[in-house]
Amino acid sequence: MIYKLKKYLPDIIIPVIAALILFGCASSELTLYEKGINSYENGKYRTAVEYLTRAIWKDPVNPELYFLRANAFAKLGENDKAIKDYTTAIKLGPSPEYYQNRGLTFLSVDKYDDAINDFNSALTLDSLNAELYFNRGYTKTLMSNLSDAINDYSTAIKLDSTNAKFYVNRGDLYSELAEHENAISDFTKAIALNPEDELAYFNRGKEYFLYGDFKKAADDFSTVININPENTDAYFLRAEAKVNLGKFLGAAADYTKIIKLEPKNGYAFYNRGICYANLDMKETACEDFNRAGDLGFYQAYEVIKEYCNKKEKKKKK
């Protein structure tokens, strides 16, 4: 089974400053704003829309109100409404945040060119914003423009060398370009910045695996599992690393953990059966192969035919 490296995704931004105060709203409008923000922060996005809509009725030329309501629409998955509100906010008072969030909404509906245009517009207003370069780099990745994406991630790193996710995403691209040493270097830098970075350990472990350094790979996947005990991909890859190290019993234990997390995972039963077969535990192995076949992993039936149904020759006295 092939596992792709994982990357960080962009997310919409919410202003920290109560921007409505800057626009001189009356106290009743501030109350609607506060209720809208509180609803948003508590995940009550529909209620946030209702409060912000009432605020817009009172102050229909305030761009920040449209921006905030657009954020709520985006969280609700109502992207057309979100884009419309961001566009209104931009017309009333262009801001890099407005362009950035509209770009991210375009990104969520696979309108990559529109997203790039918005990130470019945002950068003309805020050329030192590392997050904007990160967002544009992510979009270029989806457009398979990997070299330019790396350049954007590199610019983001120059502007903010303390953000681990910038290194993780650039490392992911280095991996795709088979620049494995650069990839490992980036993942290692991310880990130094954030020792709890699950993605960085996972990706570095995958790189070590591809390099054939199964010991280091297993160590990284173990760290991933310590951070997130339910990461089945990490169990699978650690098990495969153990198999390459000849540690079939340990690998079987990892597949057992996967089966506990995903009782209908036929591939896990099949792989555990392979481990048991290598440990000369034929009966137990065949039980797993049969279970794998029952769960739809039909490759197991060939193994059952060749291995389980094959009668052993009696030794001559």
Domain range list for the chain: 10-126, 247-311
CA distance 260 to 45: 36
DSSP track, 229-281: TT-HHHHHHHHHHHHHTT-HHHHHHHHHHHHHH-TT-HHHHHHHHHHHHHTT-
Q: What is the pLDDT of residues 106-134, one digit of tens each?
A: 999 999 999 999 999 999 999 999 999 99
- In the block, tokens 């920040």 appear at 64
Q: Which amino acid is at 36?
A: G
Q: What is the pLDDT of residue 268?
A: 97
Contact 176, 153 (CB under 8 A): no
Q: What's the alpha-carbon Rg for the chain, to the nearest Å?
A: 26
Most confidently modeled of 93-97, 251-255, 311-315? 251-255
Q: Is the pLDDT of residue 173 over 80?
A: yes
Q: What is the pLDDT of residues 215-237, one digit of tens each?
A: 999 999 999 999 999 999 999 99
CATH of domain 247-311: 1.25.40.10
247-311 matches 10-126 in CATH topology: yes
**Full 3-state SS string of 55-114:** HHHHCCCCHHHHHHHHHHHHHCCCHHHHHHHHHHHHHHCCCHHHHHHHHHHHHHCCCHHH
CA distance 267 to 20: 55
CA distance 122 to 24: 25
- CATH homologous superfamily of 10-126 equals Tetratricopeptide repeat domain (1.25.40.10)
